[in-house]
Amino acid sequence: MASYDLSGKNKYYTLYEGIREDILRGAWRAGEKLPAKRTLAAELGVSVVTVQTAYDQLLAEGYISSKERSGYYVCPLDITGRTGKSAPLSADLSAEDKGGAGTGVGAVIADFAKGSAPAELFPFSSWAKLMRAVLSDCGEHLLERVPCDGDTELKCAISAYLCRARGIFVEPERIVIGAGAEQLYGTIVQLIGRDKLYAVENPGYRKISETYMLNGARCAFVDVNADGMDVEGAISLGADVFHVSPAHQFPTGAVMPASARARLIAAAKASGAYIVEDDYDSEFRLVGKPLQNMYALDSDRVIYLNTFSKTLAPSMRMGYMVLPPALYKRYVEMFGRNSCCVPLFEQKTLARMISGGAFERHINRLKNYYRGVHEILLEKLASLSCLNELRDSASGLHFTVKFPSAPFDGSIKERAMELGIRIKCLSDYLLAPRTGCEKTAVVNFSGTTREVALAIAPA
């Protein structure tokens, strides 16, 4: 077994990859015990630390588990990637989902339950080039303290980008840089208060309400219909904050029409509530121009929030929000003595990527790419033998398909798994019980390559 070639630079990583591959292709079977660290280290001629690090990584990613005083064991394949810390972003697969798992990971051709962009689409070489340039240009300035709201250069770059790409004018000063969406959600609770009621979309992206609640706030789950969050329902609850994604709701794909946006803003104005406009994938409207941002309609009541997870990589851990003047003032009062928790190095690199135009060129390339994937998927669906109702706003990287003739949600996922497709249903994203979300699959193709889309067999 121990035939890993560890002559390269990063021994532990090579070993980790080798074992992982072997597990995935079934050379190591579930329940099998891995060799003891010392034994493997001696066999491979590497240090015990190298083996330990590789095992730790496999452990962290759920490929193996450890039993005290016994050793390391291979985990069953069907839970790979779902268990523990390294699970995908929305890993809360319901029990019924496990029905199709028997076919094993090896058989999965397409994974529509995952949300991250294929790594090969990231413009790594130009990013690395910018990093090298920043390192040599800024030098020791990179060690300077970054103000709580982020580096001025990045804030200016984002302000100019928002003007060019979204047609909204934002003073650089009012932009706050944060380490990804969750950190910004947490800051919103600290700013507005944890004694307030936060209305979130149902079904929705579970981490929004989870983060609000982790920060001590109360959440109300408001139904999302074809027009986005049920505005009247949300208003009647007397919420203090409305967290919406009007450009393209996840997972329903709903786009909030201008009239609903206006009503929500009027309500927020009347009651002094705030709207969080979560614009997480607005860059990917594949056809036509996006609707005007809610922020453009009322910059006093709307907090505009976006990240670089969809456009660059989730591991980038960078996002930003634009605060209304009153909240920005409070932000500086509360956090003025803190440092921004995103390293200056990453901020400067991103600033240059945006102001040099590479960021927008990358988004355009991505859009073209995804447009191709989207077309292939629609063709495949058209040839699908069972009846289905497609709901696709072409405004982002996911759409929904209803299968009215399916007996229940689990059967859709089972049937998909037989075709090598891992998929989730709207019901998997329910945060509170409601009707109207039955028998609907969510096709999230942000992690799907053209090759994968082509490889899916028509049913």
Nearer to a copy of itself, 103 or 215 (CB): 215
Report the nearest approach of a copy of itself to the CB of residue 285 (Å).
24
Q: What DSSP string runs through 36-72? A: PHHHHHHHHT--HHHHHHHHHHHHHTTSEEEETTTEE
The one segment of 221-229, 308-316, 400-408, 438-446 that binds a copy of itself by CB under 8 A:
308-316
Report the nearest approach of a copy of itself to the CB of residue 347 (Å).
10
> x/- contact string, 6-25, with a copy of itself (CB under 8 A)?
---xx-xx------------
User: Residue 124 and residue 312: Cα distance in Å, rounded?
Assistant: 10
> x/- contact string, 342-361, with a copy of itself (CB under 8 A)?
xxxxx---------------
The one segment of 144-152, 197-205, 220-228, 443-451 that binds a copy of itself by CB under 8 A:
144-152
300 binds a copy of itself (CB under 8 A): no
Report the nearest approach of a copy of itself to the CB of residue 71 (Å).
16
Nearer to a copy of itself, 51 or 264 (CB): 51
Query: Is the bond leading into 433 cis (omega within 30 degrees of zero)?
Result: no
Among 21, 32, 137, 389, binds a copy of itself (CB under 8 A): 137
Q: Token pair of 81, please?
A: 């990637």
Counting residues that bind a copy of itself (by CB under 8 A) gives: 79
Among 6, 42, 91, 363, binds a copy of itself (CB under 8 A): 91
> x/- contact string, 168-207, with a copy of itself (CB under 8 A)?
----xx-----xx-xx--x---x---x------------x
User: Quick one: which H or E segment has residue 197?
Assistant: strand 197-202
| Interactions with a copy of itself, residue window 214-233 (CB under 8 A) | 214-216
CA torsion, ordered 243, 245, 249, 251, to nearest 10 deg: -50
Among 97, 111, 153, 281, binds a copy of itself (CB under 8 A): 153
405 binds a copy of itself (CB under 8 A): no
73 binds a copy of itself (CB under 8 A): no
User: Quick one: which H or E segment has residue 412?
Assistant: helix 409-418
Q: How far apart are the first and last CA of the chain?
A: 39
Q: Token pair of 87, please?
A: 């699970």
| Interactions with a copy of itself, residue window 312-331 (CB under 8 A) | 313-317
336 binds a copy of itself (CB under 8 A): yes
User: Residue 178 and residue 52: Cα distance in Å, rounded?
Assistant: 34
142 binds a copy of itself (CB under 8 A): yes
Q: Contact, 301 vs 269, CB < 8 A?
A: yes
Nearer to a copy of itself, 315 or 405 (CB): 315
Question: Which residues sit opposite 322 in a β-bridge?
Answer: 175, 304
Alpha helices in 101-216 (DSSP H): 124-138, 152-161, 181-192, 206-214
266 binds a copy of itself (CB under 8 A): no
Nearer to a copy of itself, 214 or 454 (CB): 214
289 binds a copy of itself (CB under 8 A): no
Nearest to 245 by CA among 213, 221, 280: 280
Q: Token pair of 2, please?
A: 């121990």
> x/- contact string, 115-134, with a copy of itself (CB under 8 A)?
-x--xx-x-x---x--xx--
Amino acid at 281: D
Number of other residues whose CB lies within 10 A of the CB of residue 153 = 18
53 binds a copy of itself (CB under 8 A): yes
User: Residue 109 and residue 345: Cα distance in Å, rounded?
Assistant: 38
Question: What is the DSSP-derived secondary structure letter of residue 186?
Answer: H
